[in-house]
Amino acid sequence: MKKRKLCLVGNGMAGVRCMEEILKLAPDLFDITIFGREPHPNYNRILLSSVLAGDADIRDIVLNDWNWYEQNGITLYTGETVTSIDAEQRNIYTDCGRVESYDDLILATGSLPFMLPLPGIDKEGVIAFRDINDCKTMMEASKTYKKAVVIGGGLLGLEAARGLLNLSMDVSVVHIFDNIMERQLDPVASKLLQSELEKQGIRFLLEKQSAEILGDTRVTGLRFADGTAEEADLIVMAVGIRPNAALAQESGIEVKRGIVVNDYMETNIDHVYAVGECAEHRGTVYGLVAPLFEQGKVLAKRICQMDAAPYEGSTLHTKLKISGVNVFSAGEFMDTSDTRAIRVHDEWEGVYKKVLVRDDQVVGAVLFGDTKDSTRILEMIRTNATISELQRVAILQNLSSSSGASELDYVAAMSSDEIICGCNGVSKGTIVEAIYEHGLNSVEGVKKCTGASRSCGGCKPLVANLLQCVLGDQAQTSNQKEPICTCTTLSRDELVREIQEKCLTSVREVMHVLDWTEPEGCSKCRPAINYYLNMVFPELHEDERESRFVNERMHANIQKDGTYSVVPRMYGGVTSPAELKKIAEVAEKYQVPLVKVTGGQRLDLLGVKKEDLPNVWRDLDMPSGYAYGKAIRTVKTCVGSDFCRFGTQNSIQMGIDIEKAFERLDTPAKIKMAVSGCPRNCAESLIKDIGVVGIDGGWEIYIGGNGGVHAKVAQLLCKVKTNEEVMEWVGAFLQYYRENANYGERTSAWMERIGLSSIQRALENTETRRELNYRIAAALGVLSDPWQDIIQKENIRQLFENVAVNV
Amino acid sequence: MKLEIMQLEQLPVHTGRVIQVFGHEIALFRLGNGKIRAVENRCPHKGGPLAEGIVSGDYVFCPLHDWKICLADGNVQSPDTGCVKTFQTEIEENRIYIMIEPQEQGERRESLVPEQGLVNQK
């Protein structure tokens, strides 16, 4: 049978998702061609804000990579725009002069950002927030410019603003109404959100109508209708989107606001369909992801000539994707004369929940601060559930009733057709079926197989709970199971167990014995395996230089221009005139462009040429400060009792002792430490992986602090009396972290994952601490200063030299 | 033109070395399967020195932002795009040779200063 020719215009989420459905239903029915204007494969547009916020890389958000198109025999033209359709001859024409015929044609042209027609709109630095290119423009602009203004206080505008804030820009959000996100939130939730975002650093200019963009070639500011103005080096327009329906309109297809479709996504022209943001269904144009996927399913069945239930519209719901801010809205959200509300407003915890009820039926909800119930409430709205199914509100519920067990009960009690993944419309039944049929035991597996949690990722915990419900203990370990990289299906724990049980002693052997799909691994797994081997068999495994990241191979920190930075060890941040002279001489001799004091109280020589490194080390004649590695970094100290009139303990000596005891040690991720001589904490001990604080008659040991992207205050591990006990506890904690954390996982993230109390329980036994210290001593025993080693070894020193070929 | 670069044992497996010739800066690699690869030492993304990347199979991962580049044809792997220039190489009697024409002028990285020449034209 000859295949039918199916063309898709638009290589975005809605269209490609529909294609996936079609391939699932009838893999051999069609000869498929896809046209995309952007030069990328299909990516997750919803997660662009995460890319901007620095939480994800562009490659992380690709949904279907180039291989997917190839494997499914799809012809893909990217960077090519379809310019017209001849519906009579069934041909389409592109801007590259291509003519393609079709039997069936799907239009999934999405939408275009709406640009306010302001004077000065064409100036440099005025952009929308819609695609990867806009994202790149913003990231680029943040390097040179300081002041960003986002026009539009809706979902997209706020996510753009948060992203720009992460890029260290000053951000103001301009909004024409007095409430932000007024299309999803009631005034109470809106004001709560605004004050939370103001705390994070976003400025709001409300009830401001933009009038003119100021500047010569590049934007310098924005003037408002009331005569005031705001400075701006970058203006991001996020006032809304409009369906991209021009192509359809010019080709004689019926268009109102969007391309008009019936309940089966058919346009008024035979064999032409439309799906997604470009389509108008029963007078509604949807701009959120879940409806697009529901439409795609209906269309897939229709186009494969199978019976399909008609598409009857979607309940709108949305979540704001800003980390640390939980906002959810679904269905109706404004009180009206015929609705009644169930409201909880906990100003103490910053939680606001409102469920709107009409005639005993749940018709909408707004949640702020705590969105755990969002899936359940959405399902109630969808199924027109009555409030009799709602639990009575209890003030200050007992803590134990909100523990993990009740979450499991909740997922167990869900009916099989209840939706778990709202974005992709995946029901509990579908997931359970897939778990049994394909032997799945991980969230990742469920995601790959069913699509659940593939879009916004909000339902991951629910999927994990469901896995545990279905598989019990089998999923227990695999509950958080994520393969360490795409070369293997093994999780970190499984890998370490295999190394121990099979006594594997080289990266090569690990990959060979454990069936790695890439025989030599990748940049993710190679350094990880090398670390685990060193950790399990410190004396047996010979460290593998070629599996180390450049910094740990060169023992210096690579900079953007290919030069390196050199930080010599200064125990406890203490130096001497002689040492300072030596450093100054080296800096002059090798024309080091920048000498800087680091955050960890060290001196950093920046811009050293690769070929100079061994000589710089030789002349410095100081130990490596390991400022480049996943290793013990620095111990920062305050002046302490020797000089300080408040000091209760000798923090300098304690810092030096700790640093000397554990220097050179490899750890899953970098370890920063600090010792303060009194609770005033001048050494900032509470934002370190390990912070030691002197108190009258003893010390407090804090763990899991972090001063970086995800700032976190350290938590108290224990109080001890003597200096020896400090060393014993620090050693035991370090080794416990080395043996249990994932490679690359900082103590703060690790502690968040496993809990402070589990660490305290593990370390409370004296005997366990002794054993841990015994093992850490073994690991330290095989280490020596890498700088001196390289100076001694001619064959390695040679690798730092460039080879000039003279002709 | 065929130029001798270095002895085979001067190039450890999986560790890149930087070669300067005719104004080109070239990253030279010895793969796990014994093959020698040579590409321009500049990632098309931000100019990262590819010679310092982790080598796996026929690929190198740029040390700056982890772009994956095929050493056989120079193509950047998806989802990133681009291409680096590749050069033919040969091994003869434990010596490594590179095929390169004098008129192919490369882009020179300013921060790296050429060392004294180690080998001569054959």
* Facing residue for B79 by CB, picked from A59, A801, A802: A59
SS3 content of chain B, % helix, strand, coil (to 5): 5, 40, 55
Asked if residues A118 and A211 have their Cβ atoms less than 8 Å apart, the reply is yes
The residues of chain A scoring below 70 in pLDDT are 1, 321, 323, 389-407, 456-457, 476-481
Rounded to the nearest angstrom, the minimum Cα separation between A323 and chain B is 24
Q: Which two tokens stand for residue A665?
A: 């040690």
Q: Which two tokens stand for residue A624?
A: 């490596």
Q: What is the pTM of this model?
A: 0.53
Cα-flanking dihedrals φ and ψ of residue B56, to 5°? -145, 120
B115 touches chain A (CB under 8 A): yes
- The Cα-based distances of A88 to A34, A399, B18, B72 in angstroms read 20, 67, 61, 47
Q: Which two tokens stand for residue A372?
A: 């755990």
Decide: helix, strand or coil at residue A556.
coil
Q: Would you state the pLDDT for residue B105?
A: 53
B48 touches chain A (CB under 8 A): yes
Q: How far apart are CA A35 and CA A75, in angstroms?
A: 9
A-chain CB neighbours of B7 within 8 Å are none
Q: Which two tokens stand for residue B33?
A: 């399967």
Q: A803, B52: Cβ pair inside 8 Å? A: no
- The sheet that has A351-358: what strands, in order across it? A317-319, A327-331, A361-368, A351-358, A340-346
Q: Would you state the pLDDT for residue A50?
A: 79
Query: Which residues have CB under 8 Å from A114's CB, separation 6+?
Result: A237, A239, A240, A241, A242
Residue linked to tokens 């841990």: A772
Of A689, A681, A694, which is closest to residue A650 (Cα–Cα)?
Answer: A694
How many distinct helices (H) and strands (E) make up chain B?
Answer: 0, 10
CA-derived radius of gyration, chain B: 14
**Inter-residue long-range contacts of A508-515, CB under 8 Å, 24+ positions, other chains counted:** A511/A487, A514/A488, A514/A490, A515/A488
ipTM for the assembly: 0.83
A-chain CB neighbours of B1 within 8 Å are 807
Q: At what angle do helices A756-763 and A747-754 cross, to 10 degrees?
A: 90
Q: A804, B22: Cβ pair inside 8 Å? A: no
Of A218, A26, A251, A205, which is closest to residue A141 (Cα–Cα)?
Answer: A218
pLDDT at B109 over 90: no
pLDDT in tens, A645-695: 888 899 999 999 999 999 999 999 999 999 999 999 999 999 999 999 999
Q: Identify the residue among B19, B54, B113, B115 best suited for mutation to test binding to A, counting A beta carbons within 10 A and taking the highest.
A: B54
Nearest chain A residue to B63, by CA: A550
Q: Would you tell me which residues 522-581 of chain A have a C-beta closer than 8 angstroms to some C-beta of chain B?
A: 522-523, 526-527, 545-547, 549-550, 553-554, 558, 560-563
Nearest chain A residue to B11, by CA: A799
Rounded to the nearest angstrom, the minimum Cα separation between B68 and chain A is 9
Cis peptide before B79 (omega within 30 of 0): yes
Cα-flanking dihedrals φ and ψ of residue A789, to 5°? -60, -45
Burial call A242-274: b when 16+ CB within 10 Å, e when fewer = bbbbebbeebebebeebbbbebbbbbebebbbb
Helix H or strand E segment including A475: helix A473-478
Q: Would you state the pLDDT for residue B103?
A: 63
Rounded to the nearest angstrom, the minimum Cα separation between A553 and chain B is 9
Of A110, A332, A53, which is closest to residue A241 (Cα–Cα)?
Answer: A110
CB count in 10 Å sphere of residue A712: 18
CA A699 to the chain's CA centroid: 37
Q: Identify the residue among B18, B66, B119 best suited for mutation to test binding to A, counting A beta carbons within 10 A and taking the highest.
A: B18
Query: Which residues have CB under 8 Å from A495's CB, separation 6+?
Result: A484, A488, A510, A514, A529, A532
pLDDT at B120 over 70: no
Polymer length of chain A: 807
Q: How far apart are CA A94 and CA A99, in angstroms?
A: 7
A-chain CB neighbours of B5 within 8 Å are 803, 805
Q: How far apart are CA A435 and CA A389, in angstroms?
A: 29
Amino acid at A366: V
Amino acid at B96: I
pLDDT in tens, B39-53: 999 999 889 999 999
Query: In terms of DSSP bridges, do strands B17-21 and A803-804 run parallel, antiparallel, or are they unpaired?
Result: parallel
Q: Is the dihedral of CA A65, A111, A48, A320 positive or negative?
A: negative
Q: Would you state the pLDDT for residue A299?
A: 95
Q: Identify the residue among A523, A531, A558 best suited for mutation to test binding to B, counting B beta carbons within 10 A and taking the highest.
A: A523
Partners of A235 in beta bridges: A126, A149
Rounded to the nearest angstrom, the minimum Cα separation between B22 and chain A is 8
Q: B79, A43: Cβ pair inside 8 Å? A: yes
Using the 8-state DSSP alphabet, how is residue A260 labeled?
Answer: E
Residue linked to tokens 């369906």: A243
Residue linked to tokens 């010569």: A216
Rounded to the nearest angstrom, the minimum Cα separation between B17 and chain A is 7
pLDDT in tens, B67-103: 999 999 999 987 788 999 999 999 999 999 999 887 6
Helix H or strand E segment including A700: strand A698-703
Q: How far apart are CA A402 and CA A390, in angstroms?
A: 16
B-chain CB neighbours of A62 within 8 Å are 78-79
* Facing residue for A804 by CB, picked from B53, B102, B115: B115
Q: Identify the residue among B46, B75, B111, B113 best suited for mutation to test binding to A, counting A beta carbons within 10 A and taking the highest.
A: B111
Nearest chain B residue to A562, by CA: B49
A58 touches chain B (CB under 8 A): yes
Of B76, B37, B36, B29, which is closest to residue B53 (Cα–Cα)?
Answer: B29
Q: B56, A558: Cβ pair inside 8 Å? A: no
Partners of A236 in beta bridges: A127, A150
Q: A549, B63: Cβ pair inside 8 Å? A: yes
Q: How far apart are CA A671 and CA A635, in angstroms?
A: 9
Decide: helix, strand or coil at residue B106.
coil
Q: Which two tokens stand for residue A76?
A: 């893909």
Query: Which residues have CB under 8 Å from A494's CB, separation 6+?
Result: A477, A481
Partners of A8 in beta bridges: A34, A106
Q: Would you state the pLDDT for residue A415?
A: 80
Q: Would you state the pLDDT for residue B104?
A: 54
Cis peptide before B102 (omega within 30 of 0): no
Asked if residues A804 and B20 have their Cβ atoms less than 8 Å apart, the reply is yes
DSSP A582-623: HHHHHHHHTT-SEEEE-TTS-EEEEEE-GGGHHHHHHHH---
